[in-house]
Chain A
Amino acid sequence: MLIRFWGTRGSLPVAATASIVQEKVAGALLAASGRSFADLDEARAFTRNELDFATGGTFGGATTCVEIAAGDPDAGDPYILCDMGSGLRSFGLDAMRRCAAGHARVYHFFMSHLHWDHIMGFPFFVPAFDPNAHIVIHSGHEDAETALRRQQEEISFPVAFDWLRAKIEFRTLKPGEVYQIGAVQVEVMEQHHSHSSFGYRFTDADGKIAVFSTDSEHKMEKMHGEADVEAFFGNADLVICDTMYSLADSVSMKEDWGHSSNVVAIDLCHGARAKRLALFHHEPVYSDADIARMHAESIRYEELTREHAPLEVLCAYDGLEVVL
């Protein structure tokens, strides 16, 4: 199983401004003081290998979209995707390239929920205009079709949903059931969020497990219910978790905003004996340095509270690929 992150930001897409890029370049020049590079390749290698990620790279600004590559595309296995945030646009372009090379034109989407940051990429999803494409949209919500049609009404978007050329179907999934879809088994969990949200657990034929759990608040008053969440995350090779706020913010000013923290995500993954956690749904006001600091602190908290095997804490960024 291979997990590709196409969009990792929460709530609103963000882009680097001129002053942000200038800060990165200035930081890189300072780090390279006294060095000289024979060519662009040497300079690239320095950027990749010696600069910290917040200086030499970026976590990106596209909203949530994650690809779960499982099975064998050469044998016709379909695409599996979680959510349709603005990151979906880049996936769609890449998928067109892969389809031209023979990939099946079948797309299974699993929707955490229908808030704008999780559906805004669909009107820009090029495969939806491919008459040979088959798109199946799985959701815990029964109103997924309403949400997707509504965002393409004339008042909001020039291309109506009915003008899309692909064959598009909607299927409602239920918690407690196990579904075989494409090359994965899928289970669903309802989560606490405005208008509700759903987490998905994917298991492939090799027994590799990835869990997608975003926009999920773990309420203080319902801590006893976290045993169910830990069971859902149980022994996962990767858990992708909403870690938008600090714990203090999530229980005070931002209580009931529907999001979770790095600290709670680590505790849940420890309890679940998960192997890896990907911090996800990054706060749009956070700079790359803020996210990098949150990542470093998360790794430290994991060490301080570890009682069993180590949990690897990754920080998702647009373009990250994780092989399970």
Chain B
Amino acid sequence: MRKAEDMQWSSTERQGCVVASPDGRVDEATAQAFADHLASSVTLAAESPGRKLVVDFAGLDYMSSRGLRALTLAKRQADTAGVTMALARPNAVMREILAISRYDKLFPVSDTIEGAL
């Protein structure tokens, strides 16, 4: 079983927006770390001029429902804080998972970071 530390996370600021880049996969073992990182990224985005959080999926292999539900919790926090959220650069597997779960109806999904900003 992988540990929570296996979830790598980096975040940068682009055009006044926070771009957060998780790395690895989000499953039972890493979902809590993913949720915690998301929460701090929303807080960071609330203080940024663009008040926007782009979650860059490029480094994510796949995500189970726990990761998806963590995204919903983050979106709630974001809505309260006046932050908009967008997802960018999902791989083919993640794109399918977003479609099957209908999360592509809850979040804007784009192929590039620029498209999400």
Would you call A252 an interface residue if the criterion is a C-beta within 8 Å of the partner chain's C-beta atoms?
yes
Would you call B3 an interface residue if the criterion is a C-beta within 8 Å of the partner chain's C-beta atoms?
no
Q: State whether B72 touches A304 (Cβ < 8 A).
A: no
Would you call A267 an interface residue if the criterion is a C-beta within 8 Å of the partner chain's C-beta atoms?
yes
A268 to chain B, nearest CB (A): 9
A28 to chain B, nearest CB (A): 28
Q: Who on chain A is nearest to B28 by CB? A: A271
Q: Who on chain A is nearest to B31 by CB? A: A223
Interface centre among B27, B100, B103 (most CB of A within 10 A): B100
Q: State whether A301 touches B100 (Cβ < 8 A).
A: yes
Q: State whether B97 touches A220 (Cβ < 8 A).
A: no
Near A by CB (< 8 A), chain B positions 55-98 give 62, 64-66, 68-69, 72-73, 93, 96-97
Interface size class of chain B, counting residues whose CB lies under 8 Å from the partner chain? 20 to 34
Near B by CB (< 8 A), chain A positions 191-224 give 220-221, 223
**A300: which of B27, B65, B68, B96 is its contact (CB, 8 Å)?**
B96
A249, B72: Cα distance in complex, Å:
11
Interface size class of chain A, counting residues whose CB lies under 8 Å from the partner chain? 20 to 34
- Please name all residues of chain A whose beta carbon is closer than 8 Å to the beta carbon of B72 when the two chains form the complex: 220, 251-252
Q: State whether B66 touches A267 (Cβ < 8 A).
A: yes
**B69: which of A220, A300, A301 is its contact (CB, 8 Å)?**
A220
Near B by CB (< 8 A), chain A positions 246-284 give 246-249, 251-252, 261-264, 266-267, 270-271
Q: State whether A248 touches B65 (Cβ < 8 A).
A: no
A45, B66: Cα distance in complex, Å:
44
A249, B111: Cα distance in complex, Å:
24
Would you call A305 an interface residue if the criterion is a C-beta within 8 Å of the partner chain's C-beta atoms?
yes
- Please name all residues of chain B whose beta carbon is closer than 8 Å to the beta carbon of A298 when the two chains form the complex: 100
- Please name all residues of chain B whose beta carbon is closer than 8 Å to the beta carbon of A307 when the two chains form the complex: 27
Would you call B10 an interface residue if the criterion is a C-beta within 8 Å of the partner chain's C-beta atoms?
no
A61 to chain B, nearest CB (A): 24
- Please name all residues of chain A whose beta carbon is closer than 8 Å to the beta carbon of B101 when the two chains form the complex: 246-248, 261, 263, 301
Q: State whether B105 touches A248 (Cβ < 8 A).
A: yes
A221, B102: Cα distance in complex, Å:
20
A247, B68: Cα distance in complex, Å:
9
A17, B93: Cα distance in complex, Å:
38
- Please name all residues of chain B whose beta carbon is closer than 8 Å to the beta carbon of A251 when the two chains form the complex: 69, 72, 106
**B68: which of A221, A263, A270 is its contact (CB, 8 Å)?**
A263
Would you call A52 an interface residue if the criterion is a C-beta within 8 Å of the partner chain's C-beta atoms?
no
Q: Who on chain A is nearest to B72 by CB? A: A251
Near A by CB (< 8 A), chain B positions 14-37 give 27-28, 31
- Please name all residues of chain B whose beta carbon is closer than 8 Å to the beta carbon of A261 when the two chains form the complex: 65, 101
A305, B64: Cα distance in complex, Å:
7
**B103: which of A248, A262, A270, A297 is its contact (CB, 8 Å)?**
A248
Q: Who on chain A is nearest to B63 by CB? A: A305
How would residues 300 to 324 of chain A score, 1 for a CB under 8 Å from any chain B CB and 0 otherwise? 1100110100000000000000000
- Residues of chain B having any CB pair with chain A under 8 Å: 27-28, 31, 62, 64-66, 68-69, 72-73, 93, 96-97, 99-103, 105-106
Residue pairs across A and B with Cβ atoms less than 8 A apart, 28 shown, are: A220-B69, A220-B72, A220-B73, A221-B73, A246-B101, A247-B69, A248-B102, A248-B106, A249-B102, A251-B72, A252-B72, A261-B101, A263-B101, A264-B65, A267-B64, A267-B65, A267-B66, A270-B64, A297-B99, A297-B100, A300-B100, A301-B96, A301-B97, A304-B93, A304-B96, A304-B97, A305-B64, A307-B27
Q: A221-B73, A304-B93 are in contact. List 10 more A-B contacts (CB 8 A).
A: A220-B73, A223-B66, A247-B68, A247-B103, A248-B103, A263-B68, A266-B65, A267-B66, A271-B28, A305-B97
